[in-house]
């Protein structure tokens, strides 16, 4: 399941789940260092930043941006 932070609104992180549904998650339930665009994973009842997935998404977006300017 892909969980991506779309934005922050007040005390909540608005996340996109599997590119379809949006859900509010309390900021207190995610790592304090999490930022917009980070991928999260749910492990042992807690959200963690998925560093590898975040990097993969960032690289994919950068490639699409480069390709669109060619």
Supply the pLDDT for residue 68: 85
Mean of pLDDT over the chain: 94
Q: Are 16 and 4 in contact (CB under 8 A)?
A: yes
| Total count of domains within the chain | 1
The arrangement of strands across the sheet holding 39-43 comes to 21-26, 12-17, 3-9, 39-43, 46-49
Domain extent at residue 10 = 3-68
pLDDT at 56 over 80: yes
Q: What is the CATH number of the domain that holds 47?
A: 2.40.50
Q: Which of 20, 18, 57, 67 is nearest to 36 (CA)?
A: 57
Residue 70 reports pLDDT greater than 80 = no
- The string of pLDDT tens digits covering residues 15-48 is 999 989 999 999 999 999 999 999 999 999 999 9
DSSP-derived secondary structure letter, 30: S
Residue 1 has pLDDT above 90, yes or no: no
pLDDT confidence bin for 51, thresholds 50/70/90: very high
């Amino acid at each position: 399941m892909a969980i991506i932070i779309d934005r922050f609104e007040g005390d909540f992180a608005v996340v996109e789940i599997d590119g379809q549904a949006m859900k509010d998650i309390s900021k207190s339930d995610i790592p304090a260092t999490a930022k917009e665009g980070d991928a999260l994973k749910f492990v042992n009842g807690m959200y963690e930043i998925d560093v590898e997935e975040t990097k993969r998404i960032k690289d994919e977006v950068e490639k699409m941006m480069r390709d669109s300017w060619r």
